[in-house]
């Protein structure tokens, strides 16, 4: 299963902010943790407002950071996650075909890699995203499925894994 | 305090080379991806259940990523045994081997290599000598020529144990620095080493440190040193591995740096995709603090320094220094103009010095062993070693640590063992999105900052992605520009708009919709983006375009003019991979479909229209189509040759080819009045005649011998290509109206002149029959014969004298034909081939 995070309560966020506000790179840390602990793994408008308010910094700064870094999701994420590496080593070993296969199996019509970081199927079943490199290039192509890194992926294996995922396995 | 360290060190040494046998598993991210965790768990359980005293140890990554999981086994007094590709099911056997020397010796038989001594550079451990038949690790192709300075501990010690790091001489550099050296003498030592930044640009590290120290002294207060572990270059992962395998080395380097530069705070900026590196670094920081090596009053002196970790959030541009600083400050990571330089006004406006992970990791060794020791490796302008990740299309992918100045060739074909005979390496991409593509013809280039820059590439952080014939260089350029267009922070126009314009043009080329003018526009765009962008990202983004245009222009031209993607990557420009790789571009999906419907005649007709010699070619083609067949991933590539042959043989047997021949003859275009001479009646000449004649031209083929066929007739033995088959197929060309003139070798200038004068065009189709020889002494001795000459004699039925024993040098087509012919002449034959049996063409292995 993907995240086992419980619903994010006000208290959690407060805690996260208190714990990190004096650290180096505090805003990244707070937003990363806030996203991780949110049930749909994203930063909602309320979360961002709350962070800005508690840190006493402009909302525009929070929003600018949240939109700048590809790690942050501004939309709710699917139940499952599939991350396809689009780094050079994986690209030369055929990762585009893997991405297309994953999209088509989940019924996702279009995904503009150059414009968005992730896309979620209409039924909210799964999100597909790309990453610049997992640093596992020696075992390319690499795909991460629900947090587990799978190396030397083939289309055949990906299809099997996605079928299993759809059956709830 | 130092007594404490002594105890820790001793405990570590007991683990590494004490009386307790152990087995270790390399657990880095790569190992994990290949099942190393399962192997370690299986070993732990087996040892526990067997009540064995032996240890199962977790260590870092040994660098041989393609062969993970990597396991080592230790018994006191014996060499370490090294095993590759280990499965969890091997656990019982390994556990047993630890039990006594006899079982250990038995296990040694299936080991890959042994390690008798290990030079940790700050310490040496001698394990023992034995197993004379086993190669040492240094003798394995992958490690031959490597020099492990930065990676000296990786795969040998537990990255989560400060004891083990201390045991192999860790923190001895720091102790030496703090107790015996001044900041100035430290900077002097780094200067002596000649160390240059490993993050890309190669700026002398001592200079950076000097400037920083002077600024920090001039402006008392906080100052920062930063470790850049953003490692955003896709294809590069050495920094991840350096942290995962040896986090204390980085920490030690930073503490020494802080002491030298007078910095009060340290920050390691790690990218988000490296959770294991962060986890291990956190543990190591806590251990160092506890041991009094980090924090307040380090080693009981008045020196205070602490390190914090910041994790990035997926933005390539944050590797740029000013962007990285903005990112730590809690802003979007957009670069700012320089000056002011970070050393003047960096993090929170204070002096800041940024170095790459590997730069920091080199420091402990330089201090412990002296700058001169370090500069005894590499070349004078680029001393030391560099860790490279070789990935993509090579057999042995992994991390390779090379002395600077080693050649690309030695790494690609030596350590990484190339791709074997089936695929041809075309080049490599060095330095990620800021780097360039280097063609294989320039692989003799030494790897260092200057030489790579001369070629238009950069060393960058050391990612080397090797590409072969299946990679399209237009696609590679498009891929990189897509990457930077996506990663451009958008602050300045040339980079933001320019990259998306370049991307549009490259999409056009890949779709077959561009013109040669577009290439000119592309080049001038690339040059102006280079000149006018604000930060390093924009300034280097054009490198992949400029280098592919420079070294692989022909591929661009093929996309534009022939509307073909020879590698079969650009989707709009090929039908199927096999079709794309066949030199005739035969419509393979087409005739297969007809065959499936049992329309043999139609399938033959379609075949013949593109391939006038299907029966012959089906037997002896080089079968390019099979090298790209997707079916290869399932079982075996489809043998198109067999299909040509089946179609031709059945049609000729039934005599049904005639009506199709007649159809082709009828279809001939009206006479054009043009005369064309073709020199050479081999397959190339015959094919040219076939197409030109059908276009209505008047064709005459001249040949020096008595019959048509060239290599098919005179080079390939009859048992492989029956001469009747060839004759039969040549009749089609005669029937189409091509004239043949035999016994006419082209020997004089006048002859050529006459031909040129009498024709509208002359096509030279003489083939590549020239013997090149091996270039070794003794080739002209009697009894040594070039294969071509021998095969010609065989096909002329001369029965050349071969004696009773024949050695054939080589393993390709001619070599095998020669070997088989000699065998038929009654000799006993030995084949000597430079490649390993496993790398030989499958269909040939069966003869041996
Ligand atoms: C777009 C861009 C990305 C960069 N990425 C990295 C990186 O991932 N790691 C790194 O060490 N340096 C990177 N650099 C270079 C750094 O800005 C800087 O020069 C380097 O960290 C200095 O360290 P060194 O002197 O030890 O090499 C990048 C530069 C640019 C312009
Ligand atoms: S060159 Fe590109 S990445 Fe750098 S500041 Fe300009 S737009 Fe941003
Ligand atoms: S056997 Fe030769 S001619 Fe036939 S499809 Fe393959 S490469 Fe082309
Ligand atoms: S390129 Fe995919 S893991 Fe590095």
Q: How does pLDDT run across A85-98, given as a tens digit for each residue? A: 998 889 888 899 89
Question: Hey, are the CB atoms on B29 and A87 less than 8 Å from each other?
Answer: no
Alpha-carbon distance A40 to nearest alpha carbon in chain B (angstroms): 18
Q: Is residue B57 part of a domain?
A: yes
Q: Is residue B142 part of a domain?
A: no
Task: Clarify whether residues B182 and B331 are in a common domain.
Answer: yes
The residue behind tokens 């000013």 is: B322
Please give the pLDDT value at position B22: 97
Q: Output the CA B640–ligand 3 centroid distance in Å.
A: 6
Alpha-carbon distance A5 to nearest alpha carbon in chain B (angstroms): 18
Residues B544 and B550: their CA atoms lie apart, in Å, by 10
**B250-308, pLDDT tens digit by residue?**
999 999 999 999 999 999 999 988 999 999 999 999 999 999 999 999 999 999 999 99
Q: Is residue B148 part of a domain?
A: no
Q: At what angle do helices A59-68 and A45-55 cross, to 10 degrees?
A: 130
CA-wise closest residue to B307 among B240, B235, B243: B243
Ligand 1 site, residue B68, Cβ cutoff 6 A: no
Average pLDDT over residues B415-432: 89
CB pairs under 8 A between A and B: 165
Please give the pLDDT value at position A11: 67
Please give the pLDDT value at position B504: 95
**B287-303, pLDDT tens digit by residue?**
999 999 999 999 999 99
Indicate the pLDDT class of residue B132, thresholds 50, 70 and 90: very high
8 A C-beta contact, residue A12 and residue A54: no
- Find, in chain A, the residue whose alpha carbon is nearest to that of B66: A138
- Residue B630 contacts A where some CB pair is shorter than 8 Å: no
- Residue B485 contacts A where some CB pair is shorter than 8 Å: yes
Supply the mean pLDDT for chain A: 88
Q: Is residue B820 part of a domain?
A: yes
Indicate the pLDDT class of residue B321, thresholds 50, 70 and 90: very high
Alpha-carbon dihedral of residues A66, A70, A75, A77, nearest 10 degrees?
-130
Residues 499-538 of chain B whose Cβ lies under 8 A from any Cβ of chain A = 503
CA-wise closest residue to B267 among B280, B277, B279, B254: B254
Which of B393-407, B711-725, B761-775: highest mean pLDDT?
A: B393-407
Query: CATH number, domain at B132?
Result: 3.40.30.10
Question: Hey, are the CB atoms on B397 and A139 less than 8 Å from each other?
Answer: yes
SS3 (DSSP) at B823: helix
Please give the pLDDT value at position B317: 94
- Residue A64 contacts B where some CB pair is shorter than 8 Å: yes
CA-wise closest residue to B415 among B398, B432, B393: B398
What CATH architecture does domain A80-166 belong to?
3-Layer(aba) Sandwich (3.40)
Supply the mean pLDDT for chain B: 92
Q: Which ligand is nearest to the CA of B361?
A: 1
The token pair at B553 is: 């222009």
Domain count, chain B: 6
Task: Clarify whether residues B542 and B598 are in a common domain.
Answer: no
Residues 6 or more apart whose CB falls under 8 angstroms from that of B86 comprise B25, B39, B69, B70, B71, B94
Of A32, A113, A154, Cβ closest to residue B313: A32
Question: Hey, are the CB atoms on A137 and B273 less than 8 Å from each other?
Answer: no
Q: What is chain A's percent helix, strand, coil content, to nearest 5?
A: 45, 10, 45
8 A C-beta contact, residue A166 and residue A79: no
Biggest alpha carbon–alpha carbon distance for chain A: 51
Q: Is the pLDDT of residue B369 over 80?
A: yes
Residues B227 and B357: their CA atoms lie apart, in Å, by 6
Mutate which of A96, A113, A138 to test chain B, going by most B C-beta atoms within 10 A?
A: A138
* Predicted TM-score of the model (pTM): 0.84
Domain ranges of chain A: 4-68, 80-166
Contact list, B240 vs chain A (CB under 8 Å):
135
Task: Clarify whether residues B186 and B254 are in a common domain.
Answer: yes
Indicate the pLDDT class of residue B770, thresholds 50, 70 and 90: confident
Residues 676-715 of chain B whose Cβ lies under 8 A from any Cβ of chain A = none
CA distances in angstroms from B2 to B8, B177, B285, B288, listed in the order given = 10, 15, 18, 13
**A110-167, pLDDT tens digit by residue?**
887 767 778 999 999 999 999 888 888 888 899 999 988 888 899 889 999 999 998 8
The token pair at B432 is: 């990620």
Q: Tell me which DSSP letter residue B79 carries.
A: P
Alpha-carbon distance B725 to nearest alpha carbon in chain A (angstroms): 41
Task: Clarify whether residues B323 and B270 are in a common domain.
Answer: yes
Angle at B315 between CA B314 and CA B318, to 5 degrees: 125
Biggest alpha carbon–alpha carbon distance for chain B: 101
Residues B462 and B746: their CA atoms lie apart, in Å, by 54
Q: Tell me which DSSP letter residue B787 carries.
A: H
8 A C-beta contact, residue B552 and residue B532: no
The residues that bridge with B807 in the sheet, in sequence order, are B830
Proportion of chain A above pLDDT 90, given as a percent: 62
- Residue B223 contacts A where some CB pair is shorter than 8 Å: no
Please give the pLDDT value at position B534: 94
**B199-226, pLDDT tens digit by residue?**
988 999 999 999 999 999 999 999 999 9
Alpha-carbon distance A122 to nearest alpha carbon in chain B (angstroms): 25
Asked which of A51-65, A70-84, A112-126, B750-764 is least confident by mean pLDDT, the reply is: A112-126
Q: Is residue B144 part of a domain?
A: no
- Residue B85 contacts A where some CB pair is shorter than 8 Å: no
Alpha-carbon distance A142 to nearest alpha carbon in chain B (angstroms): 9
- Residue A38 contacts B where some CB pair is shorter than 8 Å: no
The token pair at B8 is: 């820790």
B103, with CB counted inside 10 A (0-12, 13-18, 19+), is middle
Task: Clarify whether residues B179 and B284 are in a common domain.
Answer: yes
- Residue B34 contacts A where some CB pair is shorter than 8 Å: yes
Q: Decide which of B108 and B633 is more confident.
A: B108
Q: Which ligand is nearest to the CA of B333?
A: 2
Q: Output the CA B582–ligand 3 centroid distance in Å.
A: 5
Q: Is residue B157 part of a domain?
A: no
The residues that bridge with B355 in the sheet, in sequence order, are B227
- Find, in chain B, the residue whose alpha carbon is nearest to that of A59: B331
**B137-159, pLDDT tens digit by residue?**
999 999 999 999 999 999 999 99
Task: Clarify whether residues B231 and B328 are in a common domain.
Answer: yes
Please give the pLDDT value at position A92: 85
Query: CATH number, domain at B355?
Result: 3.40.50.11540
Residues A61 and A66: their CA atoms lie apart, in Å, by 9
Mutate which of B61, B315, B332 to test chain A, going by most A C-beta atoms within 10 A?
A: B332
The token pair at B809 is: 């040098």
Residues with CB under 6 A from ligand 2: B 317, 335, 488-492, 495-496, 533-535, 537-538
SS3 (DSSP) at B83: strand
Task: Clarify whether residues B548 and B660 are in a common domain.
Answer: no
Average pLDDT over residues B464-472: 92
Q: Output the CA B71–ligand 2 centroid distance in Å.
A: 45
Q: Output the CA B325–ligand 2 centroid distance in Å.
A: 15
Q: Is the pLDDT of residue A5 over 80?
A: no
Residues 144-203 of chain B whose Cβ lies under 8 A from any Cβ of chain A = none
Task: Clarify whether residues B328 and B202 are in a common domain.
Answer: yes
Residues B223 and B262: their CA atoms lie apart, in Å, by 8
Domain containing B811 equals 787-847
Q: Is residue B577 part of a domain?
A: no
8 A C-beta contact, residue B568 and residue B560: no
Q: Is the pLDDT of residue B795 over 90?
A: no
**B591-649, pLDDT tens digit by residue?**
999 998 899 999 999 999 999 999 999 998 888 888 778 777 667 888 999 999 999 99
CA-wise closest residue to A31 among A39, A22, A144, A44: A44
8 A C-beta contact, residue B374 and residue B415: no
**Residue ending a domain, choose from B334, B350, B375:** B375
Contact list, A85 vs chain B (CB under 8 Å):
234
Task: Clarify whether residues B288 and B403 are in a common domain.
Answer: no
8 A C-beta contact, residue B458 and residue B540: yes
Indicate the pLDDT class of residue A10, thresholds 50, 70 and 90: low
8 A C-beta contact, residue B545 and residue B524: no
Q: Is residue B162 part of a domain?
A: no
Ligand 1 site, residue B461, Cβ cutoff 6 A: yes
Q: Is the pLDDT of residue B60 over 70?
A: yes
The residue behind tokens 């390399």 is: B26
Question: Hey, are the CB atoms on A139 and B235 less than 8 Å from each other?
Answer: no
Task: Clarify whether residues B352 and B393 are in a common domain.
Answer: no
């Amino acid at each position: 299963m993907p995240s086992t995070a419980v619903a994010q309560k006000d208290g959690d966020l407060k805690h996260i902010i208190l714990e990190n506000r004096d650290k180096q790179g505090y805003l990244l840390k707070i937003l990363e943790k806030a996203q991780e602990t949110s049930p749909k793994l994203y930063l909602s408008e309320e979360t961002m407002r709350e962070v800005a308010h508690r840190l006493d910094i402009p909302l525009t700064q929070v929003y600018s950071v949240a939109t700048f870094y590809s790690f942050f999701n501004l939309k709710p994420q699917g139940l499952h996650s599939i991350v396809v590496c689009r780094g050079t080593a994986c690209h030369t070993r055929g990762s585009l075909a893997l991405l297309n296969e994953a999209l088509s199996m989940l019924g996702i019509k279009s995904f503009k890699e150059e414009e968005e970081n992730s896309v979620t199927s209409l039924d909210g079943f799964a999100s597909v995203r790309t990453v610049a490199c997992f640093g596992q290039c020696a075992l390319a192509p690499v795909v991460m499925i629900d947090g587990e890194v799978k190396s030397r992926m083939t289309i055949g294996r990906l299809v099997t894994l996605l079928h299993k995922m759809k059956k709830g396995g | 305090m130092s007594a404490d360290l002594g105890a820790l060190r001793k405990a570590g040494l007991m683990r590494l080379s004490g009386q307790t046998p152990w087995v270790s598993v390399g657990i880095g991210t790569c190992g994990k991806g290949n099942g190393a965790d399962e192997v370690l768990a299986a070993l732990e359980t087996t040892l526990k259940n067997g009540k064995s005293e032996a240890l199962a140890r977790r260590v870092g990554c040994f660098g041989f990523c393609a062969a993970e999981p990597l396991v080592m086994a230790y018994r006191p007094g014996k060499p370490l045994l090294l095993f590759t590709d280990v499965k969890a099911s091997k656990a019982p056997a390994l556990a047993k081997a630890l039990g006594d020397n006899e079982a250990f010796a038995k296990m040694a038989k299936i080991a890959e290599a042994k390690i008798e001594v290990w030079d940790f550079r700050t310490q040496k451990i001698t394990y023992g000598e034995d197993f004379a038949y086993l190669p040492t690790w240094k003798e394995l192709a992958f490690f031959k020529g490597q020099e492990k300075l930065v990676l000296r501990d990786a795969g040998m010690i537990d990255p989560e144990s400060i004891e083990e790091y201390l045991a192999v001489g860790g923190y001895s550099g720091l102790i030496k620095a703090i107790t015996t050296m001044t900041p100035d003498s430290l900077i002097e030592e780094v200067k002596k080493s000649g160390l240059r930044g490993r993050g890309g640009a190669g700026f002398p590290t001592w200079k950076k440190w000097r400037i920083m120290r002077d600024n920090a002294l001039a402006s008392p207060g906080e100052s920062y040193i930063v470790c850049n572990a953003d490692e955003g270059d896709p294809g590069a992962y050495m920094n991840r591995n350096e942290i995962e395998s040896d986090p204390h080395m980085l920490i030690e380097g930073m503490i020494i740096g802080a002491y030298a530069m007078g910095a009060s705070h340290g920050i390691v900026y790690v990218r988000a995709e490296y959770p294991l590196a962060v986890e291990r670094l956190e543990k190591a920081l806590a251990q160092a603090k506890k041991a009094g090596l980090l924090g307040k009053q380090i080693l009981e002196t008045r020196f205070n320094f602490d390190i914090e970790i910041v994790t990035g959030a997926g933005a390539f541009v944050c590797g740029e220094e000013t962007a990285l600083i903005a990112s730590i400050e809690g802003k979007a990571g957009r670069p700012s103009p320089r000056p002011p330089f970070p050393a003047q006004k960096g993090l929170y406006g204070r002096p800041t010095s940024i170095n790459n992970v590997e730069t920091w990791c080199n420091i402990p060794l330089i201090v412990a062993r002296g700058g001169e020791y370090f500069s005894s490796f590499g070349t004078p302008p680029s001393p030391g070693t560099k860790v490279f990740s070789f990935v993509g299309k090579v057999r042995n992918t992994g991390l390779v640590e090379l002395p600077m100045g080693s050649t690309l060739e030695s790494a690609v074909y030596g350590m990484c063992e190339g791709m074997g005979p089936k695929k041809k390496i075309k080049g490599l991409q060095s330095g990620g999105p800021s780097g360039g593509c280097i063609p294989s013809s320039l692989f003799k280039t030494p790897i260092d900052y200057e030489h790579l820059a001369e070629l238009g590439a950069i060393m960058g952080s050391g990612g080397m992605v090797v590409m072969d014939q299946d990679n399209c260089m237009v696609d590679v350029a498009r891929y990189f520009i897509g990457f930077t267009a996506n990663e451009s922070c958008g602050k300045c126009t040339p980079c933001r708009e320019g990259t998306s314009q370049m991307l549009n043009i490259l999409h056009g080329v890949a779709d077959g919709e561009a013109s040669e003018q577009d290439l000119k526009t592309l080049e001038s765009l690339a040059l102006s983006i280079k000149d006018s962008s604000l930060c390093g990202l924009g300034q280097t983004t054009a490198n992949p375009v400029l280098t592919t245009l420079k070294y692989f222009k022909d591929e661009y031209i093929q996309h534009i003019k022939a509307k073909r993607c020879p590698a079969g990557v650009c989707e709009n420009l090929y039908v199927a991979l096999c079709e794309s790789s066949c030199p005739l571009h035969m419509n393979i999906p087409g005739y297969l479909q007809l065959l499936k419907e049992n329309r043999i005649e139609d399938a033959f007709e379609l075949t013949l229209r593109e391939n006038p010699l299907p029966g012959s070619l089906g037997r002896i083609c080089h079968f390019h189509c099979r090298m790209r067949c997707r079916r290869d991933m399932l079982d075996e590539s489809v043998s198109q040759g067999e299909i040509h042959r089946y179609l031709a043989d059945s049609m000729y047997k039934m005599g049904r080819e005639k009506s199709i021949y007649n159809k082709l003859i009828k279809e001939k275009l009206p006479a054009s009045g043009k005369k064309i001479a073709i020199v050479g009646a081999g397959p190339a000449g015959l094919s040219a005649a076939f197409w030109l004649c059908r276009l209505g031209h008047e064709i005459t083929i001249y040949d020096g011998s008595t019959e048509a066929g060239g290599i098919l007739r005179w080079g390939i033995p009859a048992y492989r290509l029956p001469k009747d088959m060839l004759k039969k197929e040549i009749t089609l060309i005669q029937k189409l109206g091509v004239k043949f003139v035999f016994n006419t070798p082209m020997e004089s200038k006048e002859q050529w002149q006459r031909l040129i004068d009498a024709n509208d065009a002359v096509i030279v189709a003489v083939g590549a029959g020239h013997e090149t020889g091996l270039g070794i002494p003794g080739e002209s001795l009697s009894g040594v014969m070039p294969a071509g000459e021998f095969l010609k004699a065989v096909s002329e039925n001369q029965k050349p004298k071969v004696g009773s024993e024949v050695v054939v040098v080589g393993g390709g087509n001619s070599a095998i034909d020669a070997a088989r012919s000699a065998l038929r002449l009654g000799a006993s034959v030995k084949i000597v081939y430079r490649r390993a049996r496993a790398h030989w063409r499958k269909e040939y292995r069966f003869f041996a």
